């Protein structure tokens, strides 16, 4: 608390060592042990005071200096040990992924593969930020990537560029998400509590049954990657609230943007909880309850020590006066209200960084058939989790059905349940109010979210505005998982740090035994966590059925037909197709060379159409007619962003339309940008053409809101980088 007030005072004390005054040991420090749940403090600003005339710094070979170095080395070694243990003990989660083949029968396994397949097709067409998926809905196309977080697809694309096939790239992304989720959880809980607690929290998180359910039963790629970012967002906002500083704001905003880019549904569910956390911590700070408890303890200790020493040393008497001065000028409650600005700025910066995605997704979501996302079997209904299912060891690979007879598991897990129960005993004993109340909040949210997964909460769901988007109440387990995992780490919150020994004690065997005993508790708990989830580390690996693979455009169409998936339509479509002439053409061994509906042209050949080039987001045609009022119909449903442009044909009109010979030089200036109409049932685009010989280009471009989102992201990136440079310069 007083680190900055005392900075610069001279003394011979070494951080972490008792201070000797008149031959008596005395520790005057605001340093609190991390293992008891400390509030973040400015550890680099701590000093000790001494009345002796000894130099400020210790000689390099002094005993105290040696002990301090040994202590630092021991702590760093211990942190590295727990970090490597976290990574090592997380490796078994990759077991099913290391098997040859792929678990094609998992719920979204085929979706994950074909999402990346479509994304890769767009990237190969030179589209840096894809929004349109041309092969959805049997080749008609759908703006899938305009409303679906792209980060998992970009990650998979990196491995395709490295030479992996689509299926292997998907498996690698799943594996990375599992390992990195444990790492991010470890880093957060290590900061919040201590390294040993971080190990337990990380392993609980990695092997949390719903996490394994997402990996190997659902095979939900975006949500699995989202597991990586939730601990980072919690860590970032914890730092912003506990110790506001620009570095914390920058990294927290980046973590939040990553979560938004990964899974907009997860971000949508998680953001209100994040806002509630900030509000609750601000309320406690405003009324001074948390701060009063912490400061009262420090005030009592400092007052007693400084009054006792004021008669012995003038310097410590001055310290006492400085402390009084601080109390006279303690922050006003308005300052506490301003404490809400850092998290608000963090949220705004995170939204700014990700606005290229979420802003068009939010504004243009109404232009797709929402009923396909929230209706039918995806409609919010009776897919609640019975209370006994949260603790039942049942596991399976079936789908969720109304009632308690799901052929799958929605359990919390035996180890996580036991550790959660222990947290209610341990957390009230934590000495630091901020950490304690943060964990209180996690406990409260865990109980509320568990309640919302059960049938008794059905009335509450009718009042929630996001119920239709959540689809299934058990999806809240993705938020319950990190909270329970963090609370599981509290089992080792009072686990002692090793006492540094400059030399081993006289009894080397006793010293070695103490080291073994020291390591036993975390390793034993880690082993129990792994064993409790080991039965669920399995996947149904098999070869793809003919209706699923091997991965190709034709297999994608067969999958769409057999599963009625990936058939999304825009709001202009009234009838959802179950096959198409485009898909039939590919199934017969051909390829899609044009999206022009030639059957809609006049039978008397009064309109000539020739497709010159086509990719994911555009097609260029030569069109010619002598009659007014003619049009060309495209087998693509309308969606904002599609534009039509008519170019003059400069000739010569010798019938040569070879792309390599004539048409490039024949495309003249823009003649018109005609309005696009749609067919009443299919929603296909209809473009009017003028009499004469012209070129027609249909292209999917950015709408004004997409342009705004892109610029907001660009400006936010500049702001982020500028502030990062400022922080770096200040440090130097």
Q: What are the average pLDDT values for consecutive 10-residue runs of the chain, which has 732 residues?
A: 36 36 36 40 36 39 50 66 95 96 95 97 96 97 96 98 98 98 98 95 97 96 97 96 92 97 93 93 70 55 55 54 48 57 93 98 93 67 86 87 82 94 94 91 96 90 71 90 97 62 46 46 92 94 94 97 93 95 96 96 93 94 94 98 95 63 74 97 97 96 98 98 91 78
**pLDDT digit string, tens, across residues 507-561:** 444 444 444 444 558 899 999 999 999 999 999 999 999 999 999 999 999 999 9
Q: In this structure, how many other beta carbons lie within 10 angstroms of the beta carbon of residue 305? A: 16
Strands, E, within 306-428: which ranges? none
Q: Which residues contact 629 (CB under 8 A, 6 or more apart)?
A: 688
Please give the Cα distance from 431 to 266 (Å, whole number).
Answer: 33
Question: How much is the pLDDT for 225?
Answer: 98
**CA dihedral sign of residues 451, 457, 462, 463:** negative
**CA dihedral sign of residues 340, 441, 192, 430:** positive
Show contacts of 69-72: CB within 8 Å, 24+ apart: 70/500, 70/501, 70/502, 71/16, 71/500
Question: How much is the pLDDT for 145?
Answer: 97
192, 441 contact by CB (below 8 A): no
Question: How much is the pLDDT for 514?
Answer: 42
Question: How much is the pLDDT for 501?
Answer: 43
By DSSP bridging, strand 677-678 and strand 667-672 are: unpaired
To which H or E segment does residue 687 belong?
strand 684-689
Please give the Cα distance from 649 to 692 (Å, whole number).
Answer: 9
Task: Name all domains of the chain by residue range, CATH numbers in brackets.
Answer: 598-701 (2.60.40)
To which H or E segment does residue 421 belong?
helix 414-426
Question: How much is the pLDDT for 80?
Answer: 85
Question: How much is the pLDDT for 215?
Answer: 97
By DSSP bridging, strand 667-672 and strand 642-649 are: antiparallel
Among the listed residues 390, 403, 415, the one whose alpha carbon sits nearest the alpha carbon of residue 535 = 415
Q: Which residues contact 572 (CB under 8 A, 6 or more apart)?
A: 637, 638, 639, 678, 683
Please give the Cα distance from 453 to 566 (Å, whole number).
Answer: 28
Looking at residue 122, what DSSP letter applies? Answer: H
636, 683 contact by CB (below 8 A): no
Question: How much is the pLDDT for 316?
Answer: 53
The length of the chain in residues reads 732
How far does CA 547 lie from the centroid of its chain? 32
Report the alpha-carbon angle 537-542-548, nearest 5: 120
**pLDDT digit string, tens, across residues 554-572:** 999 999 999 999 999 999 9
SS3 111: helix
**CA dihedral sign of residues 594, 166, 476, 193:** negative
């Amino acid at each position: 608390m007083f680190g900055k007030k005392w900075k610069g005072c001279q003394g011979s004390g070494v951080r972490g060592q008792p201070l000797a005054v008149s031959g008596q040991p005395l520790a005057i420090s605001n340093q609190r042990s991390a293992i008891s749940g400390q509030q973040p403090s400015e550890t680099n600003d701590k000093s000790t005071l001494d009345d002796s005339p000894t130099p400020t710094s210790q000689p390099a070979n002094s005993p105290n200096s040696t002990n301090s170095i040994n202590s630092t080395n021991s702590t760093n070694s211990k942190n590295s040990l727990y970090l490597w243990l976290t990574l090592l003990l997380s490796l078994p989660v990759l077991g099913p992924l290391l098997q040859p083949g792929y678990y094609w029968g998992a719920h979204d396994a085929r979706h994950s593969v074909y999402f990346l397949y479509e994304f890769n097709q767009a990237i190969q067409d030179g589209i840096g930020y894809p929004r349109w998926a041309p092969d959805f809905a049997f080749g008609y196309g759908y703006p899938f990537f305009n409303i679906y977080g792209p980060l998992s697809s970009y990650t998979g694309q990196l491995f395709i560029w490295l030479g992996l096939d689509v299926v292997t790239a998907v498996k690698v992304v799943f594996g990375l998400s599992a390992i990195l989720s444990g790492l991010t959880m470890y880093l957060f809980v290590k900061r919040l509590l201590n390294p040993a607690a971080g190990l337990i929290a990380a392993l609980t998180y990695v092997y949390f049954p719903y996490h394994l359910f997402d990996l190997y039963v659902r095979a939900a790629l975006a949500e699995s990657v989202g597991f990586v970012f939730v601990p980072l967002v919690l860590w970032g906002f914890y730092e912003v609230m506990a110790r506001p500083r620009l570095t914390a704001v920058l990294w927290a905003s980046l973590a939040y943007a990553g979560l938004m880019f990964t899974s907009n549904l997860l971000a949508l569910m998680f953001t209100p909880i994040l806002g509630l956390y900030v509000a609750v911590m601000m309320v406690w700070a405003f009324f001074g309850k948390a701060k009063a408890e912490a400061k009262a303890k420090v005030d009592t200790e400092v007052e007693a020590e400084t009054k006792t020493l004021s008669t012995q040393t003038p310097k410590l008497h001055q310290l006492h006066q400085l402390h009084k001065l601080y109390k006279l000028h303690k922050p006003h409650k308005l300052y506490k209200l301003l404490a809400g600005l850092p998290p608000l700025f963090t949220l705004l910066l995170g939204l700014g960084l990700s606005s290229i995605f979420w802003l068009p997704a939010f504004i243009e979501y109404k232009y797709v058939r929402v009923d396909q996302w929230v209706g039918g079997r995806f409609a919010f209904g009776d897919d609640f989790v019975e209370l006994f299912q949260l603790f039942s060891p049942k596991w399976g690979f079936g789908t969720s059905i109304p009632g308690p007879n799901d052929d799958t598991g929605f359990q919390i897990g035996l180890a996580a349940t036991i550790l959660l129960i222990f947290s209610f005993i341990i957390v009230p004993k934590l000495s630091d109010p901020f950490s304690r109340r943060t964990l209180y909040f996690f406990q409260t949210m865990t109980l509320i979210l568990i309640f919302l997964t059960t049938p008794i909460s059905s009335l509450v769901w009718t009042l929630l505005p996001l119920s239709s988007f959540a689809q299934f109440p058990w999806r809240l387990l993705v938020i319950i998982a990190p909270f329970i995992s963090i609370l599981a780490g509290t089992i080792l919150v009072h686990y002692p740090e090793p006492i540094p020994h400059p030399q081993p004690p006289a009894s080397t065997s006793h010293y070695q035994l103490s080291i073994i005993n020291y390591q036993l508790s975390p390793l034993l708990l880690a082993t129990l966590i792994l064993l409790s989830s080991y039965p669920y580390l399995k996947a149904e690996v098999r070869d793809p059925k003919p209706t699923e693979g091997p991965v190709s455009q034709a297999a994608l169409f067969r999958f769409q037909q057999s599963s009625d998936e990936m058939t999304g339509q825009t709001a202009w479509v009234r009838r959802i197709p179950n096959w198409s002439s485009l898909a039939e053409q590919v199934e017969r061994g051909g390829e899609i060379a044009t999206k022009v509906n030639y059957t809609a042209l006049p039978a008397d050949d009064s309109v000539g159409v020739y497709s010159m080039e086509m990719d994911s987001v555009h097609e260029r045609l030569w069109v010619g007619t002598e009659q007014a009022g003619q049009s060309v119909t495209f087998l693509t449903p309308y969606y904002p962003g599609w534009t039509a442009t008519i170019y003059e044909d400069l000739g010569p009109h010798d019938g040569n339309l070879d792309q390599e010979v004539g048409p490039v030089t024949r495309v003249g200036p823009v003649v018109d940008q005609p309005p696009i109409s749609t067919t009443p049932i299919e929603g296909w685009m209809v473009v009017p053409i003028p009499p004469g010989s012209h070129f027609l280009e249909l292209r999917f471009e950015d709408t004004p809101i997409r342009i705004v989102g892109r610029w907001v992201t660009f400006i936010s990136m500049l702001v982020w980088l500028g502030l990062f440079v400022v922080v770096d310069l200040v440090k130097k």
